[in-house]
Structure 1
Amino acid sequence: MKISYRKRIPEQDDLYLLQLSQQYLSHYLPAWMWKNQAFLQELNRSSRVIILLGPEQQTIGYVAYSWISKSQVHFDYAVIEGTYQGKGYARQGLEALKQYLKGKGATSIHLYVHGKNKHAMTIYYQLGFRLRQRPTFLRPTYWMEMSI
């Protein structure tokens, strides 16, 4: 069950990323994100998009992240296909990315996760993320952070 990753190739990956994101994120993100390529523009805003590859080198998901400072990274999006969920691929991919970022000088990673996404929260807790802020009426997301 070894996975690997590679950098995003927009002309090869963007249609897949859009479809995967619409399938798994549409109930967490506002409707405007799916109009006029807004989501792809959002991905382009991220400093890096890493494609997760499964055991047969097939694309199974992605992580988009941004450097906030020389030592802080924010995970913008992390999505894995349903057929690969619950099998340890997301955990393995995020752990490898965490080690890679640590090697590049990151000392902390933070993210927001929707309050309804309990499965993702479980993975983040297992990886060492800690809760920093609970959802509010205006923002239904948890803010999580980890030191690396």
Structure 2
Amino acid sequence: MKIFSLVVVIIQGQYAPTASVPDTTTGEFREVSCWHCDAVNMTQCDMIGEMKPCLGENDVCMIEVRKREGELEQICMGCKSRRACLDNKKQNARGRWRNHQCRPEPWWKKAPSVCRQCCNDSDNCARDFVLLNDGFGPFDQSEWNEDLLL
């Protein structure tokens, strides 16, 4: 009986329902998909990444861009739960202004920077966001703090 229960749990996990959000123009629900990649830049992200449907609670697309000494170091995109994504995004402005984790300005080279954003208005929202400024993402912190969720 324990083996049967384990098989049922495994099967249920594999067939998690696809996440959906309301479409603001039609009022109907649409399935959420996000571009997934973990790469050093957008060129590599486009080569190795892929569009995947979001499952279960993962109903938004997350974006994380890391820089060290002003140079792009890592881009990560994929599905995430709204709460977890927003909790990560709050880290953008932790600490005093000089010590914020998110320092997207191209001239900032004093410390590492990690900027996070959440979106779900289109399947390509994360990719489109990072493609700003030739694949570096926005250079203005206000764009990283903007609410891009439906």
TM-score, normalized by length of structure 2?
0.28
Greater helix content: 1
Whose RCO is larger (CA < 8 A, sep 6+)? Answer: 2
TM-score, normalized by length of structure 1?
0.28
